[in-house]
Chain A
Amino acid sequence: MKLLNRQHSVLPGFGLSFGLTLFWLLLIVLLPFAALVLKTADMGWAAFVDTVSAERVVASLKLSFGAAGVAAAINIVMGFLLAWVLVRYPFPGKRLVDALVDLPFALPTAVAGIALTTLYAPNGWLGQHLVPLGLKVAFTPLGIVVALTFVSLPFVVRTVQPVLEDLEKELEEAASCLGASRFQIFRRVIFPATVPALITGGAMAFARATGEFGSVIFIAGNIPLVSEIAPLIIISKLDQYDYLGATAVAVVMLALSFVLLFAINAIQWWASRRHGGKR
């Protein structure tokens, strides 16, 4: 089917919508990217490899992507649960909880970082109980995971929620009539329908978390090789007026994210073909 002739040829508007998409993408995303990549090309291959293979850069990339992965995993599980509870179960204060989900986007990331550090610092509301248990959150990599989980929390919830809301109860009722247990219905009917949304949400949460700076900087401790994230490396290079070095690290982050997102999108496509709509 992967030919340029379109599957749902009855529907019009391909030219308009595709053209508009491409134009906007070109203007807002591709043009700046081109500037970034071309600037990096100024530095030459050898210098580029030198810059990005430095011990600290590699360590920071591992940390940024690793912590983002953990945060995304937490959010896939808890985000699904939260979306499920919000759509399916009545409980007091539901509207409020629904509203709270968007909070991480609305709060400037720096404020989120400050608020979380206030809470988890050794003298904070939560920190003073956690530190005696040997659980240090603020100024450790664990703090980075907490901050990233916070800033990327809305993604999974908000992608899964509309899909769950749209799910027709009739399907479940039919499955139940056919003798399926509640768990079977969940596994065979409900869960598969949410898989594309779950993957999308997870991918967005992951992508967002890799590049996050503002909130992490307050809670991380920023010790080189231990809790120094990749965006901080970019900032410190800029502070040395090292534009080229900064863009080099930025390009590597971008390439890594692109490959990962591309893989995730490919999986998502495959999953949606297997389970998704077109019923």
Chain B
Amino acid sequence: MSDVSSRATAEAAWVRVALTTLALAFVALFLLVPLAAVFWEAFSKGWQLYVDSLTEPEAWSAIKLTLLTAAFAVPLNLVFGVAAAWAIARFEFRGKSFLVTLIDLPFSVSPVVAGLMYMLLFGAQGWLGPWLAEHDVKIVFAVPGIVLATVFVTFPFVARELIPLMQAQGADEEQAAMVLGASGWQTFWRVTLPNVKWGLLYGVILTNARAMGEFGAVSVVSGHIRGETNTIPLHVEILYNEYNFVGAFACASLLAFLALLTLVVKSLVEWKIARAQAASLNRTREARLASA
């Protein structure tokens, strides 16, 4: 993606300026100003209080639990998402639209309902509740329930990022690889994965951000035990309800930071891949020239 564009593939300067301005105005109004408000509140009583809010033991345990939850939810949904995208974008089968709709469904379920569903399954009065209690397995009001609820709300991201992308690209390259004698896994690792890496990365970033920020569903299954089963978003709510606005917004700003951090990682990966690609592109060009 070079920024050097010929006249043929670029708009007039005024169009570019107008569009950019419009987009940036939208970003400013809907993203930058709310973010500024969060940081403004977080730092309204000074740096020291901000740091104190993040280092108190309850905040710290919430941070650890949130990271742990994301560490489970993201890989699980990553594997699922890639498998689903492969099945859906590369094969024709009956009921495909139906399957895709099912994958989308967790988005449209109110998070509170999501939590409620797990209570109906695993709660003491739920289907599996009595059996679980008998065997002393804790699902709800413990870490497994929080992970499950998080997996549910982040379920579709990776699959939904990959499917349109893989459809747009078509299967020609993979078929070519297979015809040339590559094994299925080789084709996947060498052809498919490099082609969809951006979509995959966006999917993972979204999954991760949402996994750490989820409130509604987790709130139902967490039990809110301070220092034990509170995630950062739940901790934020508690602080807010204690009129501790600085603490609440400090923890919220931490989540914003974590999201930005994933973007930094993304940029680094982007840069490395771009370098590697440039190198390999040069090689193929040379090869082409040589054969011509």
Contacts and interface: CB of A to CB of B under 8 A. Distances in A.
A111 B252 contact: yes
Interface in A183-208: 185, 193, 196-197, 200, 203-204, 206-208
Interface residues of B, number: 119
Interface string B12-52: 10001001101110110011111101100100000000000
Contacts of A231: 110, 112-113
A18 B91 contact: yes
A196 B97 CA distance: 13
Contact of A13 (B5, B164, B184, B260): B184
A173 B7 CA distance: 9
B102 A204 contact: no
Interface of A: 1-4, 6-8, 10-14, 16-18, 20-21, 24-25, 28-33, 35-36, 39, 78, 81-82, 84-91, 95, 97-112, 114-116, 118-119, 125-126, 149-150, 153-154, 158-159, 161-163, 165-166, 169, 172-173, 176-177, 182, 185, 193, 196-197, 200, 203-204, 206-208, 210-214, 230-231, 234-235, 238, 246-247, 250, 253-254, 257-258, 261-262, 265-266, 268-269, 272, 276-279
A111 B248 contact: yes
Contacts of A21: 80, 83-84, 87-88, 99
B101 A211 contact: no
B58 interface: no
A10 B105 contact: no
Given A32-B118, A33-B117, A277-B168, A105 B233 contact: no
B175 A85 contact: no
A101 B112 CA distance: 25
Given A8-B92, A82-B27, A246-B116, 20 more contacts: A6-B91, A11-B171, A16-B83, A18-B93, A32-B152, A33-B117, A81-B23, A95-B263, A104-B31, A107-B34, A107-B256, A110-B215, A111-B248, A111-B252, A161-B198, A162-B196, A162-B199, A173-B6, A230-B110, A247-B116
A99 B240 contact: no
Contact of B178 (A11, A107, A212): A11
A257 B110 CA distance: 11
B60 interface: no
B256 A103 contact: yes
A102 B196 CA distance: 19
